[in-house]
A and B are shown apart, each in its own frame.
Chain A
Amino acid sequence: MIGLQHYLVLSAALFSLGILGLLTRRNAVNVLMAIELILNAANVNLVAFSRYATGNLGGQLFGVFVIVVAASEVAVALAIVLTLYRLRRTPNLDEADILKG
Protein backbone atom coordinates (compact mmCIF):
# COMPACT_ATOMS: atom_id res chain seq x y z
CA MET A 1 0.00 0.00 0.00
CA ILE A 2 1.46 3.28 -1.07
CA GLY A 3 1.07 5.88 1.60
CA LEU A 4 2.21 9.34 2.56
CA GLN A 5 5.58 8.14 3.83
CA HIS A 6 6.58 6.84 0.41
CA TYR A 7 6.13 10.23 -1.18
CA LEU A 8 7.83 12.05 1.66
CA VAL A 9 10.91 9.88 1.46
CA LEU A 10 10.97 10.34 -2.29
CA SER A 11 10.84 14.11 -1.95
CA ALA A 12 13.54 13.97 0.73
CA ALA A 13 15.69 12.13 -1.80
CA LEU A 14 15.00 14.73 -4.46
CA PHE A 15 15.78 17.54 -2.02
CA SER A 16 19.04 15.94 -0.94
CA LEU A 17 20.08 15.38 -4.53
CA GLY A 18 19.32 19.02 -5.23
CA ILE A 19 21.49 20.12 -2.32
CA LEU A 20 24.23 17.80 -3.56
CA GLY A 21 24.08 19.43 -6.97
CA LEU A 22 24.18 22.86 -5.37
CA LEU A 23 27.30 22.01 -3.41
CA THR A 24 29.28 20.21 -6.08
CA ARG A 25 28.43 21.71 -9.44
CA ARG A 26 30.35 24.62 -10.91
CA ASN A 27 28.41 25.33 -14.06
CA ALA A 28 25.68 27.89 -13.44
CA VAL A 29 23.08 26.10 -15.57
CA ASN A 30 23.76 22.90 -13.69
CA VAL A 31 23.25 24.64 -10.37
CA LEU A 32 19.98 25.97 -11.71
CA MET A 33 18.89 22.42 -12.52
CA ALA A 34 19.72 21.40 -8.97
CA ILE A 35 17.56 24.22 -7.68
CA GLU A 36 14.69 22.98 -9.83
CA LEU A 37 15.06 19.61 -8.12
CA ILE A 38 14.66 21.31 -4.75
CA LEU A 39 11.55 23.11 -5.89
CA ASN A 40 10.05 19.93 -7.31
CA ALA A 41 10.77 18.12 -4.07
CA ALA A 42 8.82 20.74 -2.14
CA ASN A 43 5.99 20.49 -4.65
CA VAL A 44 5.77 16.72 -4.30
CA ASN A 45 5.51 17.27 -0.56
CA LEU A 46 2.70 19.74 -0.99
CA VAL A 47 0.68 17.56 -3.34
CA ALA A 48 1.21 14.44 -1.27
CA PHE A 49 0.00 16.23 1.84
CA SER A 50 -2.99 17.47 -0.08
CA ARG A 51 -3.92 13.92 -0.98
CA TYR A 52 -3.19 12.09 2.26
CA ALA A 53 -2.98 14.54 5.11
CA THR A 54 -4.89 17.75 4.86
CA GLY A 55 -7.87 16.98 2.68
CA ASN A 56 -7.89 20.39 1.07
CA LEU A 57 -6.44 21.72 -2.15
CA GLY A 58 -4.22 24.33 -0.52
CA GLY A 59 -1.16 22.23 -1.24
CA GLN A 60 -1.95 21.84 -4.90
CA LEU A 61 -2.68 25.52 -5.24
CA PHE A 62 0.57 26.38 -3.54
CA GLY A 63 2.21 24.05 -6.05
CA VAL A 64 0.83 26.01 -8.98
CA PHE A 65 2.29 29.20 -7.57
CA VAL A 66 5.62 27.51 -7.04
CA ILE A 67 5.70 26.53 -10.69
CA VAL A 68 4.94 30.13 -11.69
CA VAL A 69 7.72 31.44 -9.49
CA ALA A 70 10.15 28.82 -10.76
CA ALA A 71 9.47 29.85 -14.34
CA SER A 72 10.16 33.52 -13.55
CA GLU A 73 13.32 32.68 -11.67
CA VAL A 74 14.70 30.52 -14.45
CA ALA A 75 13.94 33.20 -17.03
CA VAL A 76 15.83 35.87 -15.11
CA ALA A 77 18.68 33.53 -14.18
CA LEU A 78 19.21 32.40 -17.75
CA ALA A 79 19.09 35.97 -19.00
CA ILE A 80 21.95 36.75 -16.63
CA VAL A 81 23.86 33.60 -17.62
CA LEU A 82 23.54 34.54 -21.27
CA THR A 83 24.79 38.07 -20.66
CA LEU A 84 27.72 36.75 -18.66
CA TYR A 85 28.56 34.35 -21.45
CA ARG A 86 28.49 37.15 -23.98
CA LEU A 87 30.83 39.27 -21.90
CA ARG A 88 33.35 36.57 -21.29
CA ARG A 89 33.67 35.23 -24.77
CA THR A 90 35.26 38.43 -25.99
CA PRO A 91 36.82 40.73 -23.43
CA ASN A 92 36.01 43.73 -25.58
CA LEU A 93 32.32 44.52 -25.44
CA ASP A 94 32.30 46.84 -28.46
CA GLU A 95 33.84 44.17 -30.61
CA ALA A 96 31.17 41.71 -29.61
CA ASP A 97 28.48 44.13 -30.71
CA ILE A 98 30.04 44.69 -34.11
CA LEU A 99 30.41 41.00 -34.73
CA LYS A 100 26.78 40.38 -34.00
CA GLY A 101 25.65 43.15 -36.32
Chain B
Amino acid sequence: MTPEAVVFWAFAIVTVGSAAVVVLSRTLIYSAFALLFTFFGVAGLYVLLGADFLAATQLLIYVGGILVLLLFGVMLTHKIYDLDLRTETTQLASGLIVAAGLFVILAATALRTQWMSVPRTPAPTTEEIGRLFLGQYLLPFEAASVLLLVALLGAAMIVRRRRDA
Protein backbone atom coordinates (compact mmCIF):
# COMPACT_ATOMS: atom_id res chain seq x y z
CA MET B 1 0.00 0.00 0.00
CA THR B 2 1.28 3.42 -0.91
CA PRO B 3 1.75 5.97 1.85
CA GLU B 4 -1.18 7.88 0.40
CA ALA B 5 -3.41 4.86 0.78
CA VAL B 6 -2.27 4.25 4.35
CA VAL B 7 -3.00 7.83 5.32
CA PHE B 8 -6.34 7.76 3.54
CA TRP B 9 -7.52 4.60 5.22
CA ALA B 10 -6.37 5.84 8.61
CA PHE B 11 -8.33 9.07 8.28
CA ALA B 12 -11.29 7.31 6.71
CA ILE B 13 -11.60 4.84 9.57
CA VAL B 14 -11.28 7.62 12.15
CA THR B 15 -13.91 9.71 10.38
CA VAL B 16 -16.52 7.07 9.70
CA GLY B 17 -15.90 5.26 12.95
CA SER B 18 -16.36 8.32 15.10
CA ALA B 19 -19.36 9.38 13.00
CA ALA B 20 -20.92 6.03 13.92
CA VAL B 21 -20.20 6.75 17.57
CA VAL B 22 -21.84 10.18 17.24
CA VAL B 23 -24.99 8.61 15.94
CA LEU B 24 -25.14 5.42 18.00
CA SER B 25 -23.67 6.22 21.38
CA ARG B 26 -25.85 6.15 24.45
CA THR B 27 -24.14 9.07 26.09
CA LEU B 28 -24.41 12.57 24.71
CA ILE B 29 -20.95 13.61 25.83
CA TYR B 30 -19.35 10.65 24.06
CA SER B 31 -21.16 11.71 20.91
CA ALA B 32 -19.79 15.21 21.24
CA PHE B 33 -16.22 14.02 21.60
CA ALA B 34 -16.63 11.56 18.78
CA LEU B 35 -17.75 14.46 16.63
CA LEU B 36 -14.43 16.11 17.43
CA PHE B 37 -12.63 13.15 15.91
CA THR B 38 -14.92 13.21 12.90
CA PHE B 39 -14.06 16.81 12.22
CA PHE B 40 -10.35 16.12 12.60
CA GLY B 41 -10.65 13.19 10.27
CA VAL B 42 -12.38 15.30 7.66
CA ALA B 43 -9.72 17.98 8.00
CA GLY B 44 -7.08 15.34 7.37
CA LEU B 45 -8.92 14.20 4.27
CA TYR B 46 -9.01 17.76 3.03
CA VAL B 47 -5.22 18.01 3.34
CA LEU B 48 -4.92 14.76 1.44
CA LEU B 49 -7.11 16.26 -1.28
CA GLY B 50 -4.91 19.31 -1.55
CA ALA B 51 -7.32 21.71 0.12
CA ASP B 52 -5.00 23.31 2.60
CA PHE B 53 -7.01 26.49 3.20
CA LEU B 54 -10.19 24.54 3.68
CA ALA B 55 -8.53 22.17 6.13
CA ALA B 56 -7.36 25.07 8.24
CA THR B 57 -10.82 26.65 8.06
CA GLN B 58 -12.38 23.36 9.06
CA LEU B 59 -10.20 23.16 12.13
CA LEU B 60 -10.65 26.77 13.10
CA ILE B 61 -14.38 27.01 12.62
CA TYR B 62 -15.76 23.52 12.94
CA VAL B 63 -13.57 22.35 15.78
CA GLY B 64 -12.79 25.69 17.33
CA GLY B 65 -16.23 27.23 16.94
CA ILE B 66 -19.04 24.87 16.16
CA LEU B 67 -17.85 21.99 18.29
CA VAL B 68 -17.21 24.27 21.26
CA LEU B 69 -20.74 25.65 20.86
CA LEU B 70 -22.12 22.13 20.72
CA LEU B 71 -20.19 21.20 23.85
CA PHE B 72 -21.64 24.24 25.61
CA GLY B 73 -25.04 23.10 24.43
CA VAL B 74 -24.44 19.63 25.79
CA MET B 75 -23.09 20.81 29.11
CA LEU B 76 -25.76 23.39 29.74
CA THR B 77 -28.72 21.23 28.79
CA HIS B 78 -27.76 17.75 29.83
CA LYS B 79 -30.82 17.39 31.99
CA ILE B 80 -33.34 18.51 29.40
CA TYR B 81 -33.84 14.92 28.37
CA ASP B 82 -32.51 12.15 30.47
CA LEU B 83 -29.39 10.29 29.48
CA ASP B 84 -30.03 9.48 25.89
CA LEU B 85 -31.55 6.05 26.14
CA ARG B 86 -31.12 3.90 23.15
CA THR B 87 -34.40 4.25 21.28
CA GLU B 88 -36.69 1.25 21.13
CA THR B 89 -35.27 -1.43 18.94
CA THR B 90 -37.96 -1.05 16.31
CA GLN B 91 -37.16 2.55 15.70
CA LEU B 92 -33.45 1.95 15.52
CA ALA B 93 -33.95 -1.04 13.28
CA SER B 94 -36.07 0.82 10.75
CA GLY B 95 -33.69 3.76 10.88
CA LEU B 96 -30.79 1.42 10.15
CA ILE B 97 -32.64 -0.09 7.23
CA VAL B 98 -33.34 3.30 5.73
CA ALA B 99 -29.79 4.51 6.27
CA ALA B 100 -28.28 1.32 4.90
CA GLY B 101 -30.52 1.47 1.86
CA LEU B 102 -29.59 5.08 1.32
CA PHE B 103 -25.90 4.23 1.58
CA VAL B 104 -26.19 1.46 -0.96
CA ILE B 105 -28.04 3.69 -3.41
CA LEU B 106 -25.65 6.60 -3.03
CA ALA B 107 -22.53 4.47 -3.19
CA ALA B 108 -23.82 2.64 -6.25
CA THR B 109 -24.60 5.97 -7.90
CA ALA B 110 -21.14 7.22 -7.07
CA LEU B 111 -19.47 4.17 -8.56
CA ARG B 112 -21.62 3.93 -11.69
CA THR B 113 -21.68 7.55 -12.73
CA GLN B 114 -19.17 9.00 -15.11
CA TRP B 115 -17.89 12.04 -13.33
CA MET B 116 -15.87 14.73 -14.99
CA SER B 117 -12.23 13.78 -15.15
CA VAL B 118 -10.16 16.92 -15.06
CA PRO B 119 -7.82 16.41 -12.15
CA ARG B 120 -6.10 19.19 -10.36
CA THR B 121 -2.60 18.79 -9.06
CA PRO B 122 -2.54 19.77 -5.42
CA ALA B 123 -1.05 23.18 -4.95
CA PRO B 124 -1.43 25.88 -2.32
CA THR B 125 -4.94 27.19 -2.65
CA THR B 126 -5.10 30.18 -0.37
CA GLU B 127 -4.09 32.77 -2.92
CA GLU B 128 -6.40 31.47 -5.59
CA ILE B 129 -9.31 31.21 -3.19
CA GLY B 130 -8.64 34.78 -2.14
CA ARG B 131 -8.73 35.90 -5.74
CA LEU B 132 -11.97 34.07 -6.33
CA PHE B 133 -13.55 35.59 -3.24
CA LEU B 134 -12.86 39.07 -4.53
CA GLY B 135 -13.42 38.19 -8.16
CA GLN B 136 -15.98 35.77 -9.39
CA TYR B 137 -17.57 34.95 -6.04
CA LEU B 138 -17.68 38.49 -4.70
CA LEU B 139 -21.43 38.64 -4.23
CA PRO B 140 -21.71 35.43 -2.15
CA PHE B 141 -18.79 36.69 -0.10
CA GLU B 142 -20.62 39.91 0.72
CA ALA B 143 -23.93 38.15 1.18
CA ALA B 144 -22.29 35.80 3.65
CA SER B 145 -21.33 38.79 5.75
CA VAL B 146 -24.98 39.88 5.89
CA LEU B 147 -25.88 36.32 6.85
CA LEU B 148 -23.38 36.36 9.68
CA LEU B 149 -24.73 39.71 10.86
CA VAL B 150 -28.26 38.37 10.94
CA ALA B 151 -27.21 35.17 12.70
CA LEU B 152 -25.25 37.15 15.25
CA LEU B 153 -28.11 39.55 15.94
CA GLY B 154 -30.59 36.74 16.00
CA ALA B 155 -28.74 34.40 18.31
CA ALA B 156 -27.94 37.25 20.69
CA MET B 157 -31.53 38.43 20.68
CA ILE B 158 -32.94 34.97 21.32
CA VAL B 159 -30.70 34.25 24.25
CA ARG B 160 -30.82 37.67 25.86
CA ARG B 161 -32.89 38.20 28.98
CA ARG B 162 -36.17 40.07 28.62
CA ARG B 163 -35.13 43.64 28.88
CA ASP B 164 -36.92 44.98 25.88
CA ALA B 165 -37.86 48.42 24.62
Number of residues on chain B facing chain A (CB within 8 A): 85
| Cβ-defined contact, A34 with B23, below 8 A | yes
Interface residues on A, range: 35 or more
Interface of A is mostly: helix
Q: Say whether, besides A17-B16, A67-B61, A82-B159, A36 and B35 are in contact (CB < 8 Å).
A: yes
| Cβ-defined contact, B35 with A84, below 8 A | no
| Cβ-defined contact, A12 with B107, below 8 A | yes
Q: Which residues of chain B are within 8 angstroms of A89 by Cβ–Cβ distance?
A: 79-80
| Cβ-defined contact, B42 with A57, below 8 A | no
- CB closest residue in chain A, given B119: A52
Q: Which residues of chain A are within 8 angstroms of B115 by Cβ–Cβ distance?
A: 4, 49, 52-53
Q: How far is the CB of B139 from chain A (nearest CB, A)?
A: 11
Interface residues of A (CB under 8 A from B): 1-2, 4-10, 12-21, 23-30, 32-34, 36-37, 40, 43-44, 47-57, 60-61, 63-65, 67-76, 78-85, 88-89, 97, 100
Interface residues of B (CB under 8 A from A): 2, 4-5, 8, 12, 15-16, 19-20, 22-23, 28, 31-32, 35, 38-39, 42, 45-46, 48-51, 53-54, 57-58, 61-62, 65-66, 69-70, 72-74, 76-77, 79-81, 84, 87, 91-92, 94-96, 98-100, 102-103, 106-107, 110-111, 115-120, 122, 125, 128-129, 132-133, 137, 140, 144, 147-148, 150-152, 154-156, 158-159, 161-162
